Structure 1
Amino acid sequence: MFRHLLLAIAASILTFPVFAARLLDEGTVGINGQQRRYYHLHDTEAVGTPILLLHGSGCRDYSVRMQFYFERYPAPLSVYYLDKPGVQKGADGESCTTEYDAADLMENRVSDNLAFLDSQPDLRARGPRSVAVLGFSEGGAVAPLVALRSPKAGWLATIGAGGLPQSQVLLIFADRGVEPYAKPFSRDYFLQTYADIKAHPDDVDKDFFGHKYRYWSSHLFYDPLTTYAQLNIPIINAMGEKDESEAIEAGRALRDFFTQRPQRNFRFVEFPNASHGLKAPDKDHLQDFIASLAEWMKANPPPPAPR
């Protein structure tokens, strides 16, 4: 019996794929005449469906978190992340560079990542509907625009981003009495600030919630449903019920939008009592959700690209 057990274990080892290592490489690519830093997290012995990662707001060096996010992702893995301009290696996000502030616009993030898909050699060689786009937080608002405008995009996954304009989300938090949106701030404060941002959309001296007016004028009033309405690839959206940065009402609005369009391939996952990062008191769901994307992509192939 023991001999049979050893033979069974040996057979499983021989038939199970062996991956030598998971590596994080750093490279540079030319975009709009400038050399830009990017990262590639990948397994060495297999090539998976490429994932374009778009992270959240701010000038923190997010590359140090990439391996943690994909720790439970089954091999093969291939994730690309284009750093934002002006982000310094190891930066904690407390102080942003002038270069970062000048480039910190939604349109720039979209166009930079589109150029990255067309410039980085491995991604450039990819055909239509062959790359997955994954966005966290602010990146979850940008990712649908990238997916819509790039023929390479075959799947869209977002975390901590929904289907309402950010201006509406802040008012929802204020009306619900959530701090700091309701205290020390208020609905009236937000409405007054929105008017001021609209009156001074290019102002780089005034700040609101940690960003320049110029940044907010590109993000605050954008309606994501106008983009989602045009997407015809598999989409999955995950949010925490107690998200403190993006109101769960925004995720449910996206869910309701697609409920009225049952022919579209959309899935909404709401994690009870979980935060913006999908962390609940009893469990951190982030790594497991990201790991589940491998099977979700396999089970939901994109439709053929239009000719």
Structure 2
Amino acid sequence: MSFLSLFALSLAFALSGCTAIQRTAHMYSNEAPQPLSFQYKDGGSSTYYSFVVGDASQSDTMVFFYGATGCPSWRSVMPGYVSGLTVNARIFVLNKRFVPDRSTGLFDCGHEFHLANNPNQWVADYSEFIAAQISSVASKPKNVVLVGVSEGALPATEVAGLSPAITHLAIIGSGGYSMRKSLATLRQRGAIQFDVNSGWEKITADPRSIEKDWYGNPYRWWTDIMDIDPINNLLKLNIPVLVGIGERDQSVPVESVHFLETKFKEADKDNLIAHIYPGADHRLNANGVSYRNDFFAELGRLIRPTHNISVKRDAPQAARPLP
């Protein structure tokens, strides 16, 4: 397998520290959450999962996840992924459009998936889903938390700035760099060997292609995300922002979090909490030890002292099991 393919897989499997075999086995086990279907206003749909952490009768927190790079289903890692979270919460986990319940993400994601796999669609879908779930409950939640993993940090950050209902943002495996700057930094310190500039020349020759791919993703995906700068959206937030990254992350450089910390200090903002986990990779794993539970335990500590917020309510969206 080429280095490019390995890098792409590391992004796609940022969801968990488990092996592909373990994730696949989990999807077919009784521990995996049951799929539900969310219908968007435009007629499209996504598979999602919902379950409770802690005491359901005492839950005053909603936590929302959205898909990471590629097309793996969240079913493969939930509910164990949030085992470190120690608050009473209802968890909502939304797959991207055209990601089936038991998709491993190992094979071609399909033409329809690639057409819908773009930042504008991510933000629109995530926003609509969150608003629908919040409006469907009788009592407004005290806390509404967005969790962005790897690529998922982009839509989570933007949606957090668009909705006054959001009280916390948590990010795993992402920082303050654009994709271009991340790749340049990784190449500079020898973490990647390929020439980003020559790859970009190929992409710009056919920027909207979903048939041609580089680095395991279509040219269109690269065109859409290469130069998205997350800093402005992050600096606009006045809610707690928790960021966790591995010291030895080979997909997103740890320097991107140092840069983020510097920008927050320059802006005289104190709502960023950044954790760099020693020796850990993109999944927050280090020498067989996962720091993900530590990350979610810290998120739980941040959530506990907050107060009521104002939530805008729309028409409730009913969930229905998939056939």
1:213-292 equivalences in 2 (<5 Å): 213-281=219-287, 283-292=289-298
CA contact (8 A) 2:182 2:256 kept: yes
SS class of match (1:276): coil
Closer, same or farther: CA 48–292 of 1 in aligned 2, 3 Å: farther
Relative contact order, higher structure (CA 8 A, sep 6+): 2
Aligned residue number for residue 46 of structure 2: 36
Q: Answer yes or no: is the 8 Å Cα contact 2:63–2:145 preserved in 1.
A: yes
Separation in structure 2 between the aligned mates of residue 234 and residue 81 of structure 1, nearest angstrom: 21
TM superposition shift of 1:58:
1.0
Match of 2:8 in 1: none
Map Cα deviations across residues 86-144 of structure 1 (whole Å, 9 max, x no partner).
11222211221222111111221111100111223656767598411111111122210
More displaced, 126-135 or 67-76?
126-135
Structure 2 residue identity aligned to 1:159? I
Which portions of structure 1, spanning 4 or more consecutive aligned residues, are displaced by more than 6 angstroms? 302-305
Does 2:32 correspond to 1:26? Answer: no
Aligned length: 278
Alignment of 1:212 with 2:225, yes or no, is no
Task: Determine helix, strand or coil for the equivalent of 2:285.
Answer: coil
* Deviation, structure 1 residue 72: 2.9
Give yes or no for contact 1:29–1:120 (8 Å, CA) kept in 2. Answer: no
Q: TM-score, normalised by structure 2?
A: 0.78
Aligned to 2:90: 78
Cα deviation for residue 191 of structure 1 reads 1.1
Asked which structure has the greater CA Rg, the reply is: 1
Q: Which residue of 2 aligns with 1:117?
A: 130
Give the stretch that moved more between structures: 28-37 or 144-153.
Answer: 28-37
Closer/same/farther in 2, CA of residues 299 and 130 from structure 1, 3 Å limit? closer
Unaligned runs of 5+ in 1: 1-21
- Aligned partner of 1:39: which letter? Y
In structure 2, the gaps of 5 or more residues are: 1-30, 312-323
**TM-score for the superposition, normalised by structure 1:** 0.82
1:156 aligns with 2:169: yes
- 1:243 offset after TM fit, Å? 0.5
Q: Which region of structure 1 is more displaced relative to structure 2, 204-213 or 90-99?
A: 90-99
Deviation of 1:282 after TM superposition, in Å, equals: 6.3
What do you get for the CA RMSD once the two structures are aligned?
A: 2.5
- Give aligned-pair identity as a percent: 26
